[in-house]
Chains A and B, each alone.
Chain A
Amino acid sequence: MRVGSLIRVLLVALLLAAAATAVAIFIPWLPDQASKEGGRIDFVFWFVTAVCIGIFSVVASLSVYSLIKFRAKPDDDSDGPPVHGHTGIEITWTVIPLVLVLAMIVVSSVALARNDRDPAGSMRVEVLGQQFAWVVAYPPEGAREDMDGFVCFTRGSGQVDAKCKRSPNLLLPLDRPARLHLTARDVIHSFFVPEFRQKQDAVPGLTTEITVTPTKLGNFPFICTELCGLGHALMRTRAIVLTESAFETWRASR
């Protein structure tokens, strides 16, 4: 009886797992992947998804099976078996989740540490958020930053220093890591390019940094994801990935 029940639950669980896997595979979840950092994030995403499909199928199959199989007859007033617990089972369902959680922590930490690095030879780009537009500025090579940590921006103003190349879009060369230095002029904004998977708040009075290494040529949405007031939904522009030579040509242009 018990073994039979367990086998049937297992079958329901496999069925649900197959359904959940289909949902995971056939729905276009993640947008195109256009950065090296995005690749690492996607790996963590699918790793966690696999673990979660497993847990979901166990829980859902047990609830569905119990509700159908152990339903009392309408005139049945009897009680179930007085089972108060089982130390072995309780230890099992404490230890297995613990191990899974630790695995997810390790995978996440490794991906995070790699994405956080500022690789040697990275290109410095400065990004300023203000209501309701982005300002992107490219300092000349080797320029020194001021006390606030910026070459192109003076804190509290939307001005861009004359020695910097200024743009309303984020233009990046292919395959070269870019280190973005972000700040905001008025309220908190947030840098987000879904195809890069990278997101970072731009905070007034702070410098926040993030690395993006584009791996795909193209033109992607670059939006604000921290509520910044009336025009929040309009604070969108483009992130454009060019070949190295096209980028240099653009940069040299006036």
Chain B
Amino acid sequence: MRTSTWRRLLLGPGWVRAAWMTALFFGIGFGLVVGIRALAGWDPVIFWEPIIVVAALTAAPIGFLAGLGAFDYWLAWAFGQPTKPEDHSGHGARRWTDYFRINTDHKVIGIQYVTTTIIFFLAGGMLAMLVRAELAQPEADYVDPQTYNELFSVHASLMIFLFVIPAFAGLANYVLPLMIGAPDMAFPRLNALSYWLLPIAGIMMLSSFFFPGFGAGWTNYTPLSVEQPFGNVFFSMAVQWAGASSIMTALNFLVTIITMRAPGMTFWRMPLLVWANFTTSLLVVLATPFIAGSQFFVMFDRVMHTNFFQVAEGGYPLGYQHIFWFYSHPAVYIMILPGFGIISEVISTFSRKPIFGYRLMALSLVAILILGFSVWAHHMFVSGMANWLRVPMMITTLLIAVPTGIKVFSWLATTWEGRIHVTTPMLWAMGFVTMFVIGGLSGIFLGAVPIDIHVSDTYFIVAHIHYVLLGGSLFTIFAGIYYWFPKMTGRMYDERLGKLHFWVTFIAFNITFFPMHIIGVQGAPRRYADLGEEYADWNLVISIASFFLGASFIVFVYNMVVSWARGPRTTANPWGARTLEWQVSSPPPIFNFDDIPQVVGNPYEYGVPGARHAVMNGDRVAEAEQVKAE
């Protein structure tokens, strides 16, 4: 090869540069820590705890991102080199390798997000299978208690921070700009950066196993988390990377929705998915810094010997819980509101009816957003916080049932007297409505303080969160993936396999998680490596069902992979939907719209004679020709 080719390979953005820059930045971090320790005369000079935090968990990922080219444009601009704001060289995917580089096309980023999060979902699911294998029989069978604690801790962390939250960000990344008639997101380079933070966070989460170990539960309560083995800092730092990714994406969505709607797309003409992501992004931007703070403090307590939560030095352990839940309660709405948006699209399309009570649907999202910030301490009813705080938190918690109920009833009213097409996405959507209602009702039990005192930290909690996050969020994610699969790939998935996937998941899910309500109320505590003979029968049933649940996702992966490669070609609008993403080809052209559409009406006007959501350029040409002909 010629020298210039070598030069480009080594110095140009890409995986080769990422490899050596990761090593270089690790070295810089290493040198920094060792240098400071040597200068200060601290012993030992080479002390791996701070070295790993600074060099491996902070500096090396920055080197990786820089090597891949995430900062190239901004750095060039900052150093006064010539830059082209309209440089689209990194935009779109022509080859499969284009999915493995910094790409500024929101459609490519959306697919990167969804596939990456599905991989982490499968990894997290495998960890759950190991947990269930251990619990199938009383006594320790396969893993020791420390490993057991690490399995469920990393399972929850992966599912929350690397599956549910970013999977929604990925789906919205793909469809949201299309839905509002925009050529891309407002900040395409920031969008690329926020995606590439995710694999870093996920690998960090998983590598905690090798340093044992992160076993304090995903809540990572102090003081336990500070006395855990060193792997705990891998969680603390992975949350920073995943959280930064969330915040950047949310800012991007907010600016995109506020500034880039097509002409005529007023707020009251936005599809509900756009409303849902608007409210979710507000939650993310306001709440995520709190979990970042809580995890920094935990890590500082351990690595730098601060005393935020160390009782002996005057720290306050409940302070951790307040900061943590001030994020992590809004986080449950971050994990469900985008799903509400998806379900609104799917139910309206396949019922062939307008959304019932569109404005109240949008306003109830805003009500959940506001109330969602005033309920965090309902996770702390038995924690020892001020007793008087419990009743106000119960009131706000139970009040959220009202806007949530409005949404459920409005979806049901939308299906009423519709022309329902029971496709795979519709099955997931209706499955979601019933399962989420069960999760919502067990949430009322938990919101009522006296009942919560009895069932707090039992399997009832485990049942509840799986009904809202698996029967809830996961079902909406599947509804969304199946619904937009033809749009994303230009091909149709196998409908029979899709339905098989739904029914196996739906049945196995209920057999797995419904009995957890029973043993929970009976008093079975969560996070026990061994529940003893008392619950052995139910545990065996639950474990067997959970393996079927795990197996059901093989059907999903097979269907997606085969259909993406060889599925039948589909049209622009196979579902006959009204929103803008269906008015362009499947997959859409590189800049989405040849000409920005003019929005003239509401997005769900099924059955209204002559109603239109938008006028596309093609329509205008046809109309002009018609006028000319006349």
The chain A residues found within 8 Å of chain B, CB to CB, are 27-31, 38, 40-41, 44-45, 48-49, 51-52, 55-56, 59-60, 62-63, 66-67, 70-72, 76-86, 89-90, 93-94, 97-98, 101, 104-105, 107-109, 111-112, 115-116, 156, 186-188, 190, 192, 194-195, 197-206, 208, 221, 223-233
Identify which of residues 284-304 in chain B touch chain A, using a CB-to-CB cut-off of 8 Å: none
Determine how close the nearest CB of chain B comes to the CB of A139; give it in whole angstroms: 21
What DSSP secondary structure best describes chain B's contact surface? helix
Q: Are B607 and A230 interface neighbours, CB within 8 A?
A: no
User: Given known contacts A80-B607, A90-B357, is B453 in contact with A197 (CB within 8 Å)?
Assistant: yes
Bitwise interface map of B from 193 to 211 toward A, beta carbon under 8 Å scored 1, else 0? 0000000000000000000
User: Given known contacts A48-B444, A84-B354, A201-B382, is B525 in contact with A225 (CB within 8 Å)?
Assistant: yes
Q: Are A80 and B352 interface neighbours, CB within 8 A?
A: yes
Q: Are B454 and A41 interface neighbours, CB within 8 A?
A: yes
Of chain B, the residue at the smallest CB distance from A155 is B311
User: Given known contacts A40-B450, A44-B448, A60-B437, is B352 in contact with A203 (CB within 8 Å)?
Assistant: no
Determine how close the nearest CB of chain B comes to the CB of A223; give it in whole angstroms: 6
Q: Are A44 and B527 interface neighbours, CB within 8 A?
A: no
Most chain A beta-carbon neighbours within 10 Å: one of B421, B434, B450? B450
Q: Are B311 and A80 interface neighbours, CB within 8 A?
A: no
User: Given known contacts A31-B523, A199-B456, A233-B528, is B420 in contact with A66 (CB within 8 Å)?
Assistant: yes
How many angstroms from the CA of A28 to the CA of B430 in the assembled complex? 30
Identify which of residues 500-535 in chain B touch chain A, using a CB-to-CB cut-off of 8 Å: 518, 521-523, 525-531
Residues of B within 8 A of A223 (CB): 523, 525
Residues of A within 8 A of B223 (CB): 186-188, 204
Residues of A within 8 A of B216 (CB): 227
| Residue B224 is within 8 A (CB to CB) of chain A in the complex | yes
Q: What are the nearest 9 A-B pairs in CB distance?
A: A194-B523, A79-B607, A205-B311, A80-B353, A82-B607, A72-B419, A80-B418, A208-B384, A233-B528
Task: Determine which of B437, B451, B518 lies in contact with A27 in the assembled complex, contact meaning CB atoms within 8 Å.
Answer: B518
How many angstroms from the CA of A192 to the CA of B460 in the assembled complex? 14
User: Given known contacts A40-B450, A108-B450, A227-B527, is B224 in contact with A205 (CB within 8 Å)?
Assistant: no
Task: Determine which of A52, A97, A112, A201 lies in contact with B390 in the assembled complex, contact meaning CB atoms within 8 Å.
Answer: A112
| Residue B405 is within 8 A (CB to CB) of chain A in the complex | yes
How many angstroms from the CA of A233 to the CA of B606 in the assembled complex? 57
How many angstroms from the CA of A30 to the CA of B520 in the assembled complex? 9
How many angstroms from the CA of A84 to the CA of B145 in the assembled complex? 56
Of chain A, the residue at the smallest CB distance from B453 is A199
How many positions in chain B have a CB within 8 Å of any CB in the partner chain? 84
How many angstroms from the CA of A83 to the CA of B415 in the assembled complex? 11
Of chain B, the residue at the smallest CB distance from A204 is B311
How many angstroms from the CA of A107 to the CA of B421 in the assembled complex? 43
How many angstroms from the CA of A72 to the CA of B206 in the assembled complex? 47
Residues of B within 8 A of A229 (CB): 149, 224, 227
| Residue B365 is within 8 A (CB to CB) of chain A in the complex | no
Task: Determine which of A49, A55, A63 lies in contact with B412 in the assembled complex, contact meaning CB atoms within 8 Å.
Answer: A63
Of chain B, the residue at the smallest CB distance from A187 is B224
User: Given known contacts A90-B406, A192-B523, A199-B382, is B418 in contact with A67 (CB within 8 Å)?
Assistant: no
| Residue B71 is within 8 A (CB to CB) of chain A in the complex | no
Determine how close the nearest CB of chain B comes to the CB of A110; give it in whole angstroms: 9
| Residue B441 is within 8 A (CB to CB) of chain A in the complex | yes
| Residue B188 is within 8 A (CB to CB) of chain A in the complex | no
| Residue B81 is within 8 A (CB to CB) of chain A in the complex | no
How many angstroms from the CA of A136 to the CA of B246 in the assembled complex? 46
Q: Are A84 and B356 interface neighbours, CB within 8 A?
A: yes
Residues of A within 8 A of B523 (CB): 31, 192, 194-195, 221, 223
**Which of B85-93, B94-102, B395-403 touches A?**
B395-403
User: Given known contacts A72-B352, A226-B457, is B224 in contact with A67 (CB within 8 Å)?
Assistant: no
How many angstroms from the CA of A49 to the CA of B456 in the assembled complex? 17
Q: Are B451 and A48 interface neighbours, CB within 8 A?
A: yes
How many angstroms from the CA of A190 to the CA of B438 in the assembled complex? 28
Q: Are A225 and B522 interface neighbours, CB within 8 A?
A: no
| Residue B351 is within 8 A (CB to CB) of chain A in the complex | yes
Provide 12 A-B residue pairs closer than 8 Å at the C-beta atoms, listed in order of the A residue. Answer: A30-B521, A62-B415, A66-B420, A71-B422, A81-B607, A93-B406, A109-B449, A112-B390, A112-B391, A156-B311, A201-B382, A203-B383
Residues of B within 8 A of A85 (CB): 356-360
Most chain A beta-carbon neighbours within 10 Å: one of B145, B422, B522, B528? B528
Bitwise interface map of B from 368 to 404 toward A, beta carbon under 8 Å scored 1, else 0? 0000000000000011100100110011001101100
How many angstroms from the CA of A194 to the CA of B519 in the assembled complex? 11
Task: Determine which of A27, A76, A112 lies in contact with B419 in the assembled complex, contact meaning CB atoms within 8 Å.
Answer: A76
How many angstroms from the CA of A186 to the CA of B317 in the assembled complex? 11
Q: Are A190 and B457 interface neighbours, CB within 8 A?
A: yes
Q: Are A201 and B383 interface neighbours, CB within 8 A?
A: yes
Residues of A within 8 A of B146 (CB): 230
Q: Are A108 and B449 interface neighbours, CB within 8 A?
A: yes
Identify which of residues 408-463 in chain B touch chain A, using a CB-to-CB cut-off of 8 Å: 408-410, 412-413, 415-422, 430, 433-434, 437-438, 441, 444-445, 448-451, 453-454, 456-458
Determine how close the nearest CB of chain B comes to the CB of A117; give it in whole angstroms: 11
User: Given known contacts A104-B448, A198-B453, is B458 in contact with A80 (CB within 8 Å)?
Assistant: no
Task: Determine which of B351, B421, B437, B522 lies in contact with A59 in the assembled complex, contact meaning CB atoms within 8 Å.
Answer: B437
Given contacts A44-B450, A225-B458, 10 further A-B contacts (CB under 8 A): A66-B416, A67-B415, A67-B422, A70-B418, A71-B421, A109-B449, A112-B391, A188-B221, A225-B457, A225-B525
Residues of A within 8 A of B457 (CB): 190, 192, 199, 225-226
User: Given known contacts A104-B398, A104-B448, is B530 in contact with A233 (CB within 8 Å)?
Assistant: yes
How many angstroms from the CA of A231 to the CA of B352 in the assembled complex? 56
User: Given known contacts A48-B445, A104-B444, A205-B317, is B419 in contact with A70 (CB within 8 Å)?
Assistant: yes
How many angstroms from the CA of A131 to the CA of B398 in the assembled complex? 36
Identify which of residues 224-263 in chain B touch chain A, using a CB-to-CB cut-off of 8 Å: 224, 227
Q: Are A112 and B449 interface neighbours, CB within 8 A?
A: yes
| Residue B627 is within 8 A (CB to CB) of chain A in the complex | no
User: Given known contacts A28-B522, A97-B401, is B394 in contact with A206 (CB within 8 Å)?
Assistant: no
Residues of B within 8 A of A205 (CB): 311, 316-317
User: Given known contacts A41-B453, A44-B451, A59-B437, is B145 in contact with A230 (CB within 8 Å)?
Assistant: yes
User: Given known contacts A71-B422, A105-B394, is B450 in contact with A111 (CB within 8 Å)?
Assistant: yes
Residues of B within 8 A of A90 (CB): 357, 360, 406, 410
Q: Are B399 and A101 interface neighbours, CB within 8 A?
A: yes
| Residue B1 is within 8 A (CB to CB) of chain A in the complex | no
Q: Are A59 and B398 interface neighbours, CB within 8 A?
A: no
Of chain A, the residue at the smallest CB distance from B531 is A233
Q: Are A109 and B394 interface neighbours, CB within 8 A?
A: yes
How many angstroms from the CA of A225 to the CA of B454 in the assembled complex? 11
How many angstroms from the CA of A31 to the CA of B519 in the assembled complex? 10
Q: Are B354 and A78 interface neighbours, CB within 8 A?
A: no
Q: Are A29 and B521 interface neighbours, CB within 8 A?
A: yes
Of chain A, the residue at the smallest CB distance from B144 is A230
How many angstroms from the CA of A115 to the CA of B417 in the assembled complex? 49
How many angstroms from the CA of A108 to the CA of B393 in the assembled complex? 12
How many angstroms from the CA of A111 to the CA of B405 in the assembled complex? 26
